[in-house]
Structures are given as C-alpha cells and as structure tokens.
Amino acid sequence: MNGVLQDAGAARLQPWRRTPAGSVGLYGYFVRLAFLKFLAYRLRYYTGVVSYTIFVAGHYYLYLALYAGRAAEGLPASIGGLDVREMVTYVAISWIGRSLYFNNISRDLARMVTEGEIAMHLIKPFHLQSVMMFEAVGEAGFRLIMFTIPIMLVVVPLFGVGAPASVAALGWTFVSFALSLVIYSQLGFLVGCLAFAMKNIQGVLRAQMVGMDFLTGVVVPFTFFPGWFQVAVAWLPFQAISYVPVMIYLGKRQGPDLAQGLLLQVGWAVVLTITARLVWRVATRHVTVQGG
C-alpha cells in the first residue's frame, strides 16, 4: 500500500513542462496584448509623426546647407560615398526605421527592479526576457501601422525621399529592420539588467537615449567619420541597428555585401540574446527587491 502511495506521489511531483504549442500560444498572447495596449494610447503617436517630421526636416536643411557649401567651394559633390539626394534619403529612412524598432525595454526593466515589481515576474511561469521580446514584437506591429506608415506618407513626398534601389532591396530592408528590432531589444534588456547592480540607472538610460541615435548611424552616417572610428564601430553591434538596413535600401549593399550585412545582424541578434540570458541568470541570483 505504501509503495503504491509513493509511486502516486512521485507521479504528482513530475516537473511541469509547457508544450511547444502552449509556448506559442502564451507568447502570442503577449504580442497581441502589447498591440492592444499601445492601441489604447495611440493618440500620443499622432504627435510623434509631427516630432519625427521635425527631426527629418532639421537634418534635411542641415545637409542641404553642407552640400551647398561644398559645391560653392568647388569640392566633390559626394561625402562619404553619398550625394545630396542619397543623404536626404538616408536621413529619412533612418528615422522611419527608428519609428519601427524603437522600444523602452531598458526603462521598463529598470522600473520593475526599482519599484520591486520584478519579484512578481520572477515567480511567474515564463521567462521575462522572452516576454519582453514578444511584447516588443507586438509594439512594433502597432508602430508599423499607426506610426511608421503615417510617417512615410508625410516624409517621403515632403522631402523628395528617393525610391529603393530595387523591389528586392525594399524587401531586404524590411527584413533587416526586423532584425534591428531583435538587436535593439536585446541591447535594451542588457542595459535594463544593470538596475540589478546599480539600483538606479536613470543616468545610464539618458546616455543610452542620446548615444544610440549617434552610434547606430541615425544622426550621422558612419562613412562621415575617420577611418579609425569606422573600424572601431565595425566591431560593435550598433551599425547593425540602423546603418546596415539603410545602406541596403540605398543599394549600397548588394550581392555578397548584402548577405554579409544580414548575417552580421543575425550574428549580433544571437550573441546579444544569449548574453542577455546569461546576464539575467546571474543578476536574478543576487536580486534585492526595493519597494513593493
């Protein structure tokens, strides 16, 4: 009789495993939930269309003045391999792409740690890194429909943005920006993990906000910088977020260069995802909950 009870108890203590179909359903739910959450606050993105148009306009007139000054001095009409029309297109596509892949994972994770909310997430049967990644996918879906496309409809005709190098280049640009979303999200997750050790990372978040636009090439193309800077940046993941997809759109990356650029993005996406998972594992072993 005791043996029967022990066998029954062992059967009941079998660790619970979620089926692959259950995982798809669970994380698909977070994609849908994030989409609906941002849809509820969609009015603020209408003002974002205006602010992004102002950003593009500022760069547009700045680079027009720069190229006009070079022309007046008899200097070459190309800077860093880009003429004035390509430069205007570069700026516009960079900001349009940013409107798609941008998210606040680092800020959200830091807030969870600071306010003690992270304790509740640690006891739930899912991995927070995966949840935040899928929420970023849902947010990107919302942004594509309610933010990125409206910005394109305003910016492209207003500033005479050039067409993609080819239909295939347009498709590969979209694939490349999708990979940018993964890289940007995992970098944000790594920055957010700093809150476990530093408790308050508001300064880091501000530096990230400013530095990312510069290091990803949104503000200035890497080809404008000295050679040593370009070599240094080539070893970092930032160029894979904005510079690579925009170069694909312009037709500057074709054939082997296109494949190399996409493989570079896939490599950084995998490396950052694994690194973030390892950092998360170490950080949660030494978590100190504040507030709550």
- The Cα–Cα gap between 193 and 189 comes to 6
Asked whether the beta carbons of 239 and 233 are under 8 A apart, the reply is: yes
Amino acid at 139: E
Say which DSSP state 74 is in.
Answer: T
Is residue 200 left, alpha or beta, with left meaning phi > 0 and alpha meaning psi from -120 to 50?
beta
Asked whether the beta carbons of 255 and 190 are under 8 A apart, the reply is: no
| H or E element that contains 250 | none
- The Cα–Cα gap between 253 and 250 comes to 8
Residue 247, phi then psi, degrees to nearest 5: -65, -35
Per-residue HEC secondary structure of 247-265 comes to: HHHCCCCCCHHHHHHHHHH
Query: Which residues sit opposite 82 in a β-bridge?
Result: 79
Model-wide pTM > 0.95: no
pLDDT, residue 224, reads 87
Q: What does the block give as tokens for 61?
A: 């007139």
**pLDDT < 50 positions in the chain:** 292
- The Cα–Cα gap between 174 and 14 comes to 44
Is residue 160 left, alpha or beta, with left meaning phi > 0 and alpha meaning psi from -120 to 50?
left
- The Cα–Cα gap between 214 and 241 comes to 11
Asked whether the beta carbons of 52 and 99 are under 8 A apart, the reply is: yes
Query: Which residues sit opposite 79 in a β-bridge?
Result: 82
pLDDT, residue 2, reads 57
For the chain, how long is the longest CA-to-CA vector?
Answer: 98
Residue 98, phi then psi, degrees to nearest 5: -60, -35
Query: Which residues sit opposite 288 in a β-bridge?
Result: none
pLDDT digits 0-9 by tens, 141-165: 999 999 999 999 999 999 999 999 9
- Nearest CA to 289 out of 121, 130, 128 is that of 121
DSSP sequence for 3-67: HHHHHHHHHHTSPP---HHHHHHHHHHHHHHHHHHHHHTTHHHHHHHHHHHHHHHHHHHHHHHHH
Q: Please, which residues have CB within 8 angstroms of residue 239's CB and are 6 or more apart in sequence?
A: 216, 217, 222, 233
Place of tokens 């493989």: 263
